[in-house]
Amino acid sequence: MRTQVAIIGGGPSGLMLGRLLEQAGVDAVIIERKSPDYVLGRIRAGVLEQGTIDLLDAAGVGARMHEEGLIHTGVDLAFDGEMLNINFDKLIGKHVMVYGQTEVTRDLMAARQRTGSKTIYEADDVAIHDFDGAKPRVTFTKDGVSHTLECDVIAGCDGYHGVCRASVPENAVTTFERVYPFGWLGVLVEQPPVAEELIYAHHARGFALCSMRSNTRSRYYVQVPGDEDVKNWSDERFWDELRARINPATAEALKTGPSIEKSVAPLRSFVAEPLRFGSLFLAGDAAHIVPPTGAKGLNLAMSDVKALAEALIERFIEGSAAGVDSYSATVLQRIWKAERFSWWMTSLLHTFPETGNFGRRIQRAEFDYLGGSVAAQQSLAENYVGLP
Ligand code: RFL
Ligand code: PHB
Protein backbone atom coordinates (compact mmCIF):
# COMPACT_ATOMS: atom_id res chain seq x y z
CA MET A 1 0.00 0.00 0.00
CA ARG A 2 1.14 3.55 -0.68
CA THR A 3 -0.27 7.01 0.07
CA GLN A 4 0.97 10.59 0.30
CA VAL A 5 -0.15 11.19 3.90
CA ALA A 6 -0.55 8.39 6.44
CA ILE A 7 -2.83 9.71 9.19
CA ILE A 8 -2.53 7.86 12.49
CA GLY A 9 -5.75 8.23 14.52
CA GLY A 10 -9.35 8.62 13.38
CA GLY A 11 -10.56 11.05 16.05
CA PRO A 12 -11.63 14.57 15.14
CA SER A 13 -8.06 15.65 14.22
CA GLY A 14 -7.36 12.75 11.87
CA LEU A 15 -10.81 12.85 10.28
CA MET A 16 -10.70 16.62 9.65
CA LEU A 17 -7.17 16.45 8.27
CA GLY A 18 -8.23 13.62 5.95
CA ARG A 19 -11.24 15.63 4.77
CA LEU A 20 -9.27 18.82 4.04
CA LEU A 21 -6.57 16.90 2.14
CA GLU A 22 -9.15 14.96 0.16
CA GLN A 23 -10.89 18.20 -0.89
CA ALA A 24 -7.58 19.49 -2.26
CA GLY A 25 -6.72 16.26 -4.06
CA VAL A 26 -3.98 15.05 -1.68
CA ASP A 27 -4.13 11.31 -1.06
CA ALA A 28 -4.42 10.17 2.58
CA VAL A 29 -5.21 6.96 4.48
CA ILE A 30 -6.40 6.95 8.10
CA ILE A 31 -5.28 4.17 10.44
CA GLU A 32 -7.32 3.90 13.66
CA ARG A 33 -6.88 1.29 16.33
CA LYS A 34 -10.48 1.25 17.57
CA SER A 35 -13.83 0.60 15.83
CA PRO A 36 -16.04 3.46 14.51
CA ASP A 37 -18.59 2.77 17.27
CA TYR A 38 -15.94 2.95 19.96
CA VAL A 39 -14.69 6.31 18.62
CA LEU A 40 -18.28 7.64 18.55
CA GLY A 41 -18.95 6.35 22.06
CA ARG A 42 -16.37 8.65 23.69
CA ILE A 43 -18.34 11.56 25.16
CA ARG A 44 -16.05 14.57 25.15
CA ALA A 45 -16.17 18.15 24.00
CA GLY A 46 -19.32 20.21 23.62
CA VAL A 47 -18.41 23.76 22.62
CA LEU A 48 -17.24 24.93 19.18
CA GLU A 49 -15.47 28.25 18.54
CA GLN A 50 -16.29 30.37 15.48
CA GLY A 51 -13.08 29.18 13.79
CA THR A 52 -14.16 25.54 14.22
CA ILE A 53 -17.66 26.34 12.91
CA ASP A 54 -16.08 28.00 9.84
CA LEU A 55 -13.75 25.04 9.30
CA LEU A 56 -16.62 22.53 9.41
CA ASP A 57 -18.42 24.68 6.81
CA ALA A 58 -15.33 24.90 4.60
CA ALA A 59 -14.97 21.13 4.85
CA GLY A 60 -18.57 20.77 3.65
CA VAL A 61 -19.75 19.05 6.83
CA GLY A 62 -21.46 21.94 8.64
CA ALA A 63 -25.09 21.46 7.55
CA ARG A 64 -26.32 19.35 10.49
CA MET A 65 -24.39 21.51 12.97
CA HIS A 66 -26.28 24.61 11.78
CA GLU A 67 -29.58 22.73 12.03
CA GLU A 68 -29.10 21.06 15.40
CA GLY A 69 -26.35 23.07 17.15
CA LEU A 70 -27.24 25.66 19.76
CA ILE A 71 -25.79 29.16 19.38
CA HIS A 72 -24.60 30.49 22.75
CA THR A 73 -23.99 34.21 23.15
CA GLY A 74 -22.46 33.90 26.61
CA VAL A 75 -21.67 31.81 29.69
CA ASP A 76 -22.50 32.14 33.38
CA LEU A 77 -19.83 32.01 36.06
CA ALA A 78 -20.77 31.42 39.68
CA PHE A 79 -18.81 31.85 42.91
CA ASP A 80 -20.33 30.33 46.03
CA GLY A 81 -23.74 30.67 44.37
CA GLU A 82 -23.32 34.27 43.19
CA MET A 83 -23.87 34.52 39.41
CA LEU A 84 -22.04 36.56 36.79
CA ASN A 85 -23.13 36.51 33.14
CA ILE A 86 -20.42 37.02 30.51
CA ASN A 87 -22.18 38.10 27.33
CA PHE A 88 -19.81 37.47 24.38
CA ASP A 89 -22.18 39.07 21.93
CA LYS A 90 -22.37 42.36 23.83
CA LEU A 91 -18.68 42.36 24.81
CA ILE A 92 -17.07 41.43 21.49
CA GLY A 93 -19.88 40.67 19.01
CA LYS A 94 -19.16 36.94 18.79
CA HIS A 95 -20.66 33.62 19.91
CA VAL A 96 -19.92 29.89 20.23
CA MET A 97 -21.91 26.81 19.20
CA VAL A 98 -22.90 23.89 21.43
CA TYR A 99 -22.56 20.80 19.23
CA GLY A 100 -20.99 17.64 20.60
CA GLN A 101 -17.66 16.21 19.51
CA THR A 102 -19.53 12.95 18.88
CA GLU A 103 -21.67 14.71 16.26
CA VAL A 104 -18.67 16.43 14.64
CA THR A 105 -16.99 13.02 14.41
CA ARG A 106 -20.14 11.41 13.01
CA ASP A 107 -20.47 14.09 10.30
CA LEU A 108 -16.81 13.72 9.29
CA MET A 109 -17.09 9.92 9.21
CA ALA A 110 -20.21 10.13 7.02
CA ALA A 111 -18.43 12.46 4.56
CA ARG A 112 -15.53 10.01 4.37
CA GLN A 113 -17.89 7.14 3.70
CA ARG A 114 -19.63 9.09 0.91
CA THR A 115 -16.36 9.73 -0.93
CA GLY A 116 -15.05 6.22 -0.34
CA SER A 117 -11.78 7.41 1.26
CA LYS A 118 -9.77 4.69 2.92
CA THR A 119 -9.93 4.31 6.71
CA ILE A 120 -8.54 1.21 8.34
CA TYR A 121 -10.32 0.63 11.66
CA GLU A 122 -9.28 -1.85 14.36
CA ALA A 123 -5.65 -1.76 13.27
CA ASP A 124 -3.40 -3.44 15.86
CA ASP A 125 0.31 -2.98 16.64
CA VAL A 126 0.50 0.30 14.72
CA ALA A 127 4.15 1.41 14.41
CA ILE A 128 5.82 4.24 12.48
CA HIS A 129 9.27 3.90 10.87
CA ASP A 130 12.02 5.99 9.24
CA PHE A 131 10.26 9.35 9.58
CA ASP A 132 13.76 10.88 9.79
CA GLY A 133 14.86 9.16 6.59
CA ALA A 134 13.87 8.74 2.98
CA LYS A 135 11.26 5.97 3.33
CA PRO A 136 8.71 6.75 6.00
CA ARG A 137 6.19 3.98 6.51
CA VAL A 138 3.58 2.62 8.89
CA THR A 139 3.18 -1.01 9.83
CA PHE A 140 0.14 -2.59 11.49
CA THR A 141 -1.81 -5.80 11.68
CA LYS A 142 -5.44 -6.16 10.73
CA ASP A 143 -7.35 -9.39 11.45
CA GLY A 144 -4.01 -11.03 12.22
CA VAL A 145 -2.42 -10.09 8.87
CA SER A 146 0.61 -7.72 8.75
CA HIS A 147 0.54 -4.68 6.46
CA THR A 148 2.91 -1.88 5.44
CA LEU A 149 1.72 1.54 4.32
CA GLU A 150 4.44 3.53 2.52
CA CYS A 151 4.02 7.30 2.52
CA ASP A 152 5.68 10.70 2.15
CA VAL A 153 4.40 12.16 5.39
CA ILE A 154 3.03 10.76 8.67
CA ALA A 155 0.43 12.84 10.55
CA GLY A 156 0.34 11.93 14.24
CA CYS A 157 -3.33 12.55 15.15
CA ASP A 158 -3.43 9.71 17.65
CA GLY A 159 -4.15 11.56 20.87
CA TYR A 160 -2.24 11.86 24.13
CA HIS A 161 -1.62 8.10 24.53
CA GLY A 162 -0.79 7.50 20.85
CA VAL A 163 2.23 5.88 19.26
CA CYS A 164 3.53 8.85 17.22
CA ARG A 165 4.90 11.19 19.90
CA ALA A 166 6.12 8.14 21.82
CA SER A 167 8.20 7.08 18.78
CA VAL A 168 10.25 10.29 18.73
CA PRO A 169 13.70 9.91 20.39
CA GLU A 170 13.56 11.40 23.88
CA ASN A 171 16.33 13.92 23.21
CA ALA A 172 14.49 15.36 20.18
CA VAL A 173 11.43 16.53 22.06
CA THR A 174 10.85 18.81 25.06
CA THR A 175 7.67 18.40 27.04
CA PHE A 176 5.97 20.84 29.42
CA GLU A 177 3.44 19.42 31.82
CA ARG A 178 1.24 20.20 34.79
CA VAL A 179 -0.93 17.48 36.27
CA TYR A 180 -3.77 18.81 38.44
CA PRO A 181 -4.59 16.92 41.64
CA PHE A 182 -8.21 16.43 40.51
CA GLY A 183 -10.41 15.25 37.66
CA TRP A 184 -13.92 15.80 36.32
CA LEU A 185 -16.68 13.30 36.93
CA GLY A 186 -19.10 13.74 34.04
CA VAL A 187 -22.70 12.58 33.64
CA LEU A 188 -24.82 12.61 30.48
CA VAL A 189 -28.59 12.61 31.01
CA GLU A 190 -31.68 12.66 28.79
CA GLN A 191 -33.17 15.80 30.37
CA PRO A 192 -33.46 19.44 29.26
CA PRO A 193 -30.58 21.69 30.40
CA VAL A 194 -31.05 23.42 33.75
CA ALA A 195 -30.27 26.88 32.33
CA GLU A 196 -30.01 28.64 29.00
CA GLU A 197 -26.25 29.22 29.32
CA LEU A 198 -23.47 26.95 30.50
CA ILE A 199 -22.74 27.54 34.20
CA TYR A 200 -19.13 27.28 35.43
CA ALA A 201 -19.39 27.21 39.23
CA HIS A 202 -16.72 27.64 41.88
CA HIS A 203 -17.74 26.32 45.29
CA ALA A 204 -15.90 25.47 48.51
CA ARG A 205 -16.86 21.82 47.86
CA GLY A 206 -15.24 22.00 44.41
CA PHE A 207 -15.94 23.03 40.83
CA ALA A 208 -19.15 22.13 38.98
CA LEU A 209 -20.22 22.65 35.36
CA CYS A 210 -23.74 22.60 33.94
CA SER A 211 -23.54 22.01 30.20
CA MET A 212 -25.69 20.48 27.48
CA ARG A 213 -25.72 18.69 24.16
CA SER A 214 -29.19 19.73 22.95
CA ASN A 215 -32.51 21.03 24.27
CA THR A 216 -33.28 17.54 25.59
CA ARG A 217 -29.86 16.24 26.64
CA SER A 218 -27.63 17.66 29.39
CA ARG A 219 -24.05 17.19 30.49
CA TYR A 220 -22.90 17.88 34.05
CA TYR A 221 -19.50 17.68 35.73
CA VAL A 222 -18.19 17.88 39.30
CA GLN A 223 -14.55 18.16 40.41
CA VAL A 224 -13.35 14.96 42.13
CA PRO A 225 -9.95 13.71 43.35
CA GLY A 226 -7.71 12.66 40.45
CA ASP A 227 -7.76 8.98 41.36
CA GLU A 228 -11.54 8.82 41.98
CA ASP A 229 -13.26 5.59 40.96
CA VAL A 230 -16.49 6.18 39.06
CA LYS A 231 -17.92 3.12 40.86
CA ASN A 232 -18.09 5.22 44.05
CA TRP A 233 -20.64 7.50 42.43
CA SER A 234 -24.25 6.41 42.25
CA ASP A 235 -26.47 8.76 40.20
CA GLU A 236 -28.06 9.83 43.50
CA ARG A 237 -24.71 10.86 44.99
CA PHE A 238 -23.78 12.75 41.82
CA TRP A 239 -27.00 14.80 41.76
CA ASP A 240 -26.72 15.60 45.48
CA GLU A 241 -23.16 16.82 45.06
CA LEU A 242 -23.98 18.88 41.97
CA ARG A 243 -26.94 20.54 43.74
CA ALA A 244 -24.73 21.40 46.71
CA ARG A 245 -22.25 23.25 44.45
CA ILE A 246 -24.60 25.43 42.37
CA ASN A 247 -26.85 28.26 43.49
CA PRO A 248 -30.07 27.19 45.25
CA ALA A 249 -32.48 28.41 42.52
CA THR A 250 -30.58 26.47 39.86
CA ALA A 251 -30.39 23.41 42.13
CA GLU A 252 -34.15 23.61 42.54
CA ALA A 253 -34.70 23.74 38.76
CA LEU A 254 -32.34 20.82 38.00
CA LYS A 255 -34.05 17.92 36.18
CA THR A 256 -32.31 14.66 36.98
CA GLY A 257 -32.66 11.14 35.64
CA PRO A 258 -30.68 7.95 35.09
CA SER A 259 -27.21 8.69 33.69
CA ILE A 260 -26.59 7.44 30.14
CA GLU A 261 -22.83 7.91 30.50
CA LYS A 262 -20.65 8.49 33.53
CA SER A 263 -16.85 8.76 33.55
CA VAL A 264 -13.90 10.46 35.24
CA ALA A 265 -11.41 12.50 33.17
CA PRO A 266 -8.08 13.55 34.69
CA LEU A 267 -7.02 17.18 34.25
CA ARG A 268 -3.68 17.99 32.69
CA SER A 269 -1.84 20.76 30.87
CA PHE A 270 0.76 19.43 28.42
CA VAL A 271 2.73 20.67 25.40
CA ALA A 272 5.36 18.90 23.28
CA GLU A 273 7.86 20.93 21.28
CA PRO A 274 8.56 20.89 18.40
CA LEU A 275 5.67 19.37 16.46
CA ARG A 276 7.70 18.27 13.45
CA PHE A 277 10.34 15.53 13.28
CA GLY A 278 11.45 15.04 9.66
CA SER A 279 8.35 13.82 7.88
CA LEU A 280 6.33 13.26 11.10
CA PHE A 281 3.93 16.02 12.19
CA LEU A 282 1.94 16.02 15.45
CA ALA A 283 -1.52 17.61 15.76
CA GLY A 284 -4.34 17.73 18.32
CA ASP A 285 -4.12 15.87 21.62
CA ALA A 286 -0.99 14.04 20.37
CA ALA A 287 0.77 17.41 20.61
CA HIS A 288 -0.90 19.06 23.59
CA ILE A 289 -3.53 18.66 26.31
CA VAL A 290 -5.50 21.39 28.04
CA PRO A 291 -7.75 20.96 31.08
CA PRO A 292 -11.34 21.09 29.73
CA THR A 293 -12.29 24.21 31.73
CA GLY A 294 -11.79 26.59 28.79
CA ALA A 295 -13.44 24.27 26.21
CA LYS A 296 -10.31 24.53 24.09
CA GLY A 297 -9.10 20.96 23.33
CA LEU A 298 -11.16 20.12 20.27
CA ASN A 299 -10.96 23.68 18.96
CA LEU A 300 -7.18 23.71 19.28
CA ALA A 301 -7.03 20.36 17.48
CA MET A 302 -9.10 21.83 14.63
CA SER A 303 -6.84 24.88 14.29
CA ASP A 304 -3.75 22.60 14.23
CA VAL A 305 -5.11 20.44 11.42
CA LYS A 306 -6.26 23.46 9.44
CA ALA A 307 -2.67 24.75 9.50
CA LEU A 308 -1.23 21.30 8.81
CA ALA A 309 -3.60 20.71 5.88
CA GLU A 310 -2.65 24.08 4.35
CA ALA A 311 1.04 23.28 4.76
CA LEU A 312 0.71 19.81 3.22
CA ILE A 313 -1.42 21.08 0.32
CA GLU A 314 1.27 23.72 -0.34
CA ARG A 315 3.88 20.99 -0.36
CA PHE A 316 2.05 18.39 -2.49
CA ILE A 317 0.11 20.63 -4.88
CA GLU A 318 2.33 23.72 -5.15
CA GLY A 319 5.67 22.07 -4.43
CA SER A 320 6.65 24.56 -1.70
CA ALA A 321 8.06 23.51 1.69
CA ALA A 322 7.53 26.91 3.33
CA GLY A 323 4.33 25.84 5.14
CA VAL A 324 5.64 22.55 6.50
CA ASP A 325 8.84 24.32 7.64
CA SER A 326 6.92 26.90 9.67
CA TYR A 327 4.05 24.60 10.89
CA SER A 328 5.47 23.88 14.33
CA ALA A 329 6.42 27.45 15.27
CA THR A 330 3.17 28.88 13.89
CA VAL A 331 0.76 26.58 15.71
CA LEU A 332 2.73 26.58 18.97
CA GLN A 333 2.07 30.31 19.38
CA ARG A 334 -1.70 29.72 19.42
CA ILE A 335 -1.34 26.54 21.49
CA TRP A 336 0.45 28.38 24.32
CA LYS A 337 -2.20 31.10 24.42
CA ALA A 338 -4.92 28.44 24.74
CA GLU A 339 -2.82 26.67 27.41
CA ARG A 340 -2.62 29.92 29.35
CA PHE A 341 -6.36 30.57 29.16
CA SER A 342 -7.28 26.98 30.12
CA TRP A 343 -4.87 27.09 33.06
CA TRP A 344 -6.34 30.45 34.16
CA MET A 345 -9.97 29.25 33.98
CA THR A 346 -8.96 26.10 35.87
CA SER A 347 -7.12 28.12 38.54
CA LEU A 348 -10.07 30.47 39.07
CA LEU A 349 -12.80 27.85 39.29
CA HIS A 350 -11.42 24.76 41.09
CA THR A 351 -10.55 24.24 44.71
CA PHE A 352 -6.85 23.63 45.31
CA PRO A 353 -6.40 22.04 48.72
CA GLU A 354 -2.76 23.08 48.91
CA THR A 355 -3.36 26.84 48.53
CA GLY A 356 -5.53 27.09 51.66
CA ASN A 357 -7.68 30.07 52.67
CA PHE A 358 -5.29 32.55 51.03
CA GLY A 359 -5.82 30.86 47.69
CA ARG A 360 -9.61 31.05 48.01
CA ARG A 361 -9.52 34.76 48.84
CA ILE A 362 -7.39 35.38 45.74
CA GLN A 363 -9.94 33.45 43.65
CA ARG A 364 -12.74 35.51 45.16
CA ALA A 365 -10.86 38.74 44.37
CA GLU A 366 -10.35 37.55 40.79
CA PHE A 367 -14.10 36.83 40.49
CA ASP A 368 -14.99 40.25 41.94
CA TYR A 369 -12.52 41.97 39.60
CA LEU A 370 -14.09 40.16 36.64
CA GLY A 371 -17.56 41.26 37.80
CA GLY A 372 -16.52 44.91 37.95
CA SER A 373 -14.30 45.22 34.89
CA VAL A 374 -15.53 45.26 31.31
CA ALA A 375 -11.89 44.92 30.18
CA ALA A 376 -11.48 41.69 32.19
CA GLN A 377 -14.77 40.35 30.82
CA GLN A 378 -13.68 41.18 27.27
CA SER A 379 -10.44 39.32 27.84
CA LEU A 380 -12.34 36.24 29.01
CA ALA A 381 -14.79 36.55 26.11
CA GLU A 382 -12.17 36.86 23.37
CA ASN A 383 -10.25 33.87 24.70
CA TYR A 384 -13.35 31.71 25.20
CA VAL A 385 -14.76 32.32 21.70
CA GLY A 386 -11.28 31.70 20.32
CA LEU A 387 -8.27 33.83 19.41
CA PRO A 388 -7.60 34.39 15.69
P1 RFL B 1 -8.53 11.92 20.16
O2 RFL B 1 -9.94 12.33 20.14
O3 RFL B 1 -7.95 11.36 21.38
O4 RFL B 1 -8.35 10.90 18.95
C5 RFL B 1 -7.15 10.16 18.76
C6 RFL B 1 -7.49 8.89 18.02
O7 RFL B 1 -6.30 8.14 17.81
C8 RFL B 1 -6.57 6.76 18.09
N9 RFL B 1 -5.30 6.13 18.44
C10 RFL B 1 -4.59 5.34 17.58
N11 RFL B 1 -4.85 4.95 16.33
C12 RFL B 1 -3.95 4.15 15.73
N13 RFL B 1 -2.83 3.70 16.36
C14 RFL B 1 -2.53 4.05 17.62
N15 RFL B 1 -1.43 3.61 18.24
C16 RFL B 1 -3.45 4.90 18.29
N17 RFL B 1 -3.49 5.46 19.53
C18 RFL B 1 -4.61 6.19 19.59
C19 RFL B 1 -7.57 6.80 19.21
O20 RFL B 1 -8.33 5.59 19.30
C21 RFL B 1 -8.42 8.00 18.82
O22 RFL B 1 -9.53 7.62 18.03
O23 RFL B 1 -7.59 13.17 19.72
P24 RFL B 1 -7.85 14.33 18.66
O25 RFL B 1 -8.42 13.77 17.39
O26 RFL B 1 -6.61 15.13 18.62
O27 RFL B 1 -9.05 15.19 19.29
C28 RFL B 1 -8.85 15.92 20.48
C29 RFL B 1 -10.16 16.02 21.29
O30 RFL B 1 -10.70 14.74 21.42
C31 RFL B 1 -9.95 16.66 22.67
O32 RFL B 1 -9.05 17.73 22.61
C33 RFL B 1 -11.27 17.22 23.29
O34 RFL B 1 -12.19 16.18 23.51
C35 RFL B 1 -11.02 17.94 24.61
N36 RFL B 1 -12.24 18.38 25.29
C37 RFL B 1 -12.90 19.52 24.90
N38 RFL B 1 -12.45 20.26 23.85
C39 RFL B 1 -13.14 21.36 23.41
O40 RFL B 1 -12.70 21.99 22.44
N41 RFL B 1 -14.32 21.78 24.03
C42 RFL B 1 -14.83 21.11 25.08
O43 RFL B 1 -15.91 21.49 25.54
C44 RFL B 1 -14.11 19.95 25.57
N45 RFL B 1 -14.59 19.24 26.61
C46 RFL B 1 -12.76 17.63 26.37
C47 RFL B 1 -13.95 18.10 27.01
C48 RFL B 1 -12.16 16.47 26.80
C49 RFL B 1 -12.68 15.76 27.87
N50 RFL B 1 -12.02 14.58 28.26
C51 RFL B 1 -12.66 13.34 28.33
C52 RFL B 1 -10.58 14.60 28.36
C53 RFL B 1 -14.49 17.41 28.08
C54 RFL B 1 -13.84 16.25 28.53
C55 RFL B 1 -14.46 15.56 29.72
C1 PHB C 1 -19.13 19.74 27.76
O2 PHB C 1 -20.30 20.04 27.48
O3 PHB C 1 -18.74 18.56 27.75
C4 PHB C 1 -18.17 20.81 28.12
C5 PHB C 1 -18.53 22.13 27.98
C6 PHB C 1 -17.63 23.13 28.33
C7 PHB C 1 -16.39 22.79 28.82
C8 PHB C 1 -16.02 21.47 28.94
C9 PHB C 1 -16.92 20.46 28.59
O10 PHB C 1 -15.52 23.77 29.18
Distance CA 47, CA 311 (A): 26
34 CA to centre of own chain: 19
Residue 148 Cα distances to 109, 114, 142, 277, angstroms = 24, 25, 11, 20
DSSP track, 55-85: HHHHTT--HHHHHH-EEE-EEEEEETTEEEE
268 CA to centre of own chain: 12
pLDDT at 280: 98
Ligand 2 mean position, distance from CA 212 (Å): 8
Catalytic site residue from 99, 180, 200, 327 = 200
Provide the greatest CA pair distance for the chain.
64
Ligand 1 mean position, distance from CA 197 (Å): 24
Q: Please name the fold of domain 181-266+351-383.
A: D-Amino Acid Oxidase; Chain A, domain 2 (3.30.9)
Distance CA 191, CA 183 (A): 24
Residue 17 contacts residue 28 (beta carbons within 8 Å): yes
Nearest atom in ligand 1 to the alpha carbon of residue 164 is 15
Residue 311 Cα distances to 24, 51, 388, angstroms = 12, 18, 18
Ligand 1 mean position, distance from CA 246 (Å): 28
Ligand 1 mean position, distance from CA 288 (Å): 11
- Ligand of minimum distance to the alpha carbon of 208: 2
Active site residue 72: yes
User: For the chain, which residues make up each domain, given as ranges?
Assistant: 5-73+93-177+268-345, 181-266+351-383
Q: Which CATH superfamily is domain 5-73+93-177+268-345 in?
A: FAD/NAD(P)-binding domain (3.50.50.60)
pLDDT greater than 90 at residue 190? yes
Residue 292 Cβ contacting ligand 2 at under 6 Å: yes
* Average pLDDT estimate for 76-88: 96
DSSP bridge partners of 97:
48, 71
pLDDT at 220: 98
The phi, psi pair for 60, rounded to 5°, reads 75, 25
Question: What is the percentage of the chain residues whose pLDDT exceeds 70?
Answer: 100
**81 — pLDDT class (breaks 50, 70, 90):** confident
pLDDT in tens, 288-315: 999 999 999 999 999 999 999 999 999 9
Nearest atom in ligand 1 to the alpha carbon of residue 160 is 3
Residue 47 Cβ contacting ligand 2 at under 6 Å: yes
Active site residue 255: no
Ligand 1 mean position, distance from CA 44 (Å): 7
pLDDT at 388: 86
3-state secondary structure of 194: coil
What's the chain's average pLDDT? 97
pLDDT at 233: 98
Active site residue 129: no
Ligand 1 shell residues, CB under 6 Å: 8-14, 31-34, 39, 44-47, 101, 123, 126, 157-159, 162-163, 184, 186, 265, 284-285, 292, 295-299, 301
Distance CA 53, CA 292 (A): 19
